[in-house]
């Protein structure tokens, strides 16, 4: 099975999981290629849900094209489940996210949700987080300061640029992204707290305090479900 087939497989498993919810609930939906599979496969079942909240403009557009009723997060007070991909996940269910630059909205919706279902292929499973560069969404005027702080913590910091590399990548919230390379994240919860306290950081793509409750991981033998206690 190639990587797209694995993403489709876990997305289908996530659909089966969320369709166990009683009808009329809201659902949180993330961003990225695996989340896109989930959106496409869930589309025929959209009437099962009162509406959905989305972690990016790109996902919202895809959802609207399929006819989903997309709610503003401020309209939702009860969110049983959030489904999203990850860039890395460790055996404890801590994740690095934000490869698509949507980390801040992903964090907000993950925090709102009772359960976080992470969907990914087995290549995202790591023993220790940090091989994938850790994304930070920042306020642009703090770039140089935050770069110095993260460099002192042992990271190699790169400002994320657009595809043409001519200007900084701009998030849906108007922020910039710093990708921090070279970290070996042995204490994800502590590092998340530490980076959150740096002035100018909007959010860090470490999902350790709010980790995945259920991991659906696609591999050569099919989908394996791993539950993580909080």
211 is a contact residue toward ligand 5RP (CB under 6 A): no
Measured from each CB, the residue nearest to ligand 5RP is: 32
Encode burial over 84-116: b for 16+ CB neighbours within 10 A, e otherwise.
bbbbbbbeebbbbbbbbbbbbbbbbbbebbebb
Minimum separation from the CB atom of position 45 to ligand 5RP (A): 20
| For ligand 5RP, the closer CB: 85 or 188 | 85
Binding mask 141-180 for ligand 5RP (x = CB under 6 A): ----------------------------------------
Residue of 8, 83, 85, 210 interacting with ligand 5RP (CB under 6 A): 85
The dihedral built from the CA positions of residue 48, 80, 193 and 225, taken in this order, carries a sign that is negative
Minimum separation from the CB atom of position 24 to ligand 5RP (A): 27
97 is a contact residue toward ligand 5RP (CB under 6 A): yes
| For ligand 5RP, the closer CB: 48 or 228 | 228
Stretch (H or E) spanning 40: helix 33-42
31 is a contact residue toward ligand 5RP (CB under 6 A): yes
86 is a contact residue toward ligand 5RP (CB under 6 A): yes
The closest of 109, 108, 63, 121 to 82, measured between CA atoms, is 109
Strand partners, 26: 51
Pick the catalytic residue: 106, 137, 143, 192?
Answer: 106
Minimum separation from the CB atom of position 4 to ligand 5RP (A): 10
33 is a contact residue toward ligand 5RP (CB under 6 A): yes
Phi-psi region of 53 (alpha: psi -120 to 50; beta: other; left: phi over 0): beta
Question: How buried is 44 (Cβ within 10 angstroms: 0-12 exposed, 13-18 middle, 19+ buried)?
Answer: exposed
Tokens read off for 46: 């959209």
Residues catalogued as catalytic = 106
């Amino acid at each position: 099975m190639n990587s797209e087939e694995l993403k489709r497989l876990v997305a289908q498993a996530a659909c089966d999981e969320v369709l166990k919810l009683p009808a009329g609930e809201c659902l949180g939906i993330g961003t990225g290629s695996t989340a896109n599979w989930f959106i496409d496969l869930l589309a025929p079942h959209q009437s099962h849900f009162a509406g959905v909240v989305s972690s990016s403009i790109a996902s919202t557009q895809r959802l609207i094209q399929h006819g989903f009723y997309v709610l503003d997060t401020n309209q939702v007070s009860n969110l049983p489940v959030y489904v999203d991909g990850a860039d890395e996940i460790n055996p404890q269910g801590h994740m690095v996210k934000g490869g698509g630059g949507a980390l801040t909205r992903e964090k907000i919706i993950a925090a709102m949700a009772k359960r976080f279902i992470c969907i990914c292929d087995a290549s995202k499973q790591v023993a220790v987080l940090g091989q994938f560069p850790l994304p930070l969404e920042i306020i642009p005027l703090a770039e140089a300061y935050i770069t110095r702080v993260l460099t002192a913590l042992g990271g190699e910091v790169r400002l994320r640029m657009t595809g043409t590399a001519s200007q900084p990548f701009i998030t849906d919230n108007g922020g910039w992204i710093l990708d921090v390379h070279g970290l070996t994240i042995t204490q994800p919860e502590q590092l998340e707290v530490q980076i959150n306290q740096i002035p100018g950081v909007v959010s860090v793509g470490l999902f350790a305090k709010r980790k995945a409750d259920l991991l659906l991981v696609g591999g050569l033998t099919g989908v394996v479900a791993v539950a993580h206690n909080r």
